[in-house]
Amino acid sequence: MATALILASGSLIRAQLLRGAGLDFSIETAPVDEAEIRIALQAEGASAGDTAIVLAEAKALRVSRKRPGALVIGCDQMLDCNGVWFEKPGDRDHARAHLQALRGRDHTLSSGIVVARDGQRIWHHLSTARLSVRPLSEAFIEAYLDAAGEAVLNSVGAYQLEGLGAQLFSRIEGDYFTILGLPLLPLLDFLRLQGVLKR
């Protein structure tokens, strides 16, 4: 009997990446108080990367405890710009403020992924990318927000590299999948070792 694979995330892009890679999985979102965890870890001096892993683990474990034997994938992403952590914007005004704060500056995106089985973390991976946002005019920001619409609210930093967000950057260092929020290649390697995918 095949091992059940569950994505503990409501992210459309993560689901698209997994489907595109040929994986058969179900989706079950995990109710986790992400803001409370972030605040507590930042107060303790944790890095953005460590926080991404903790959040990913919290999601994976929450679902794993209810789904015996399944491999549950939890993911999270943190954006750090000179020590300031950004979250997904709540509305257009917040998205505009994010883009204004990031323009002309470098920042890092840390994408953490955790796989759990039977309520235990059995694998994790952290990948970080560095991105440089070009100087953006106010007119460009408004036109970008008009064109991108509510899609920008689904992405930390208010951008989506796979679409119009590519116009925001002057340089990117790191893995494309990491920037999209799912370090896919290490996950596929792990799933091959687990027999979920052919070697």
- Residues with active-site annotation: 76
Query: What does the block give as tokens for 49?
Result: 């990367």
Is-contact 58 32, C-beta < 8 A? yes
Closest Cα to residue 49, out of 140, 128, 116, 152? 128
Which helix (H) or strand (E) is 50 found in, with range?
Answer: helix 48-64
**How far apart are alpha carbons 169 and 156 in whole angstroms?**
15
**How far apart are alpha carbons 78 and 177 in whole angstroms?**
14
Query: What does the block give as tokens for 31?
Result: 């109710």
N-term to C-term CA, the chain: 18
Q: Which residues of 51-60 are buried (b: 16+ CB within 10 A; e: fewer)?
A: bbbbbbbbbb
Backbone phi, then psi, for 86, in 5-degree steps? -105, 145
Relative orientation angle of helices 92-102 and 138-148, to the nearest 10 degrees: 140
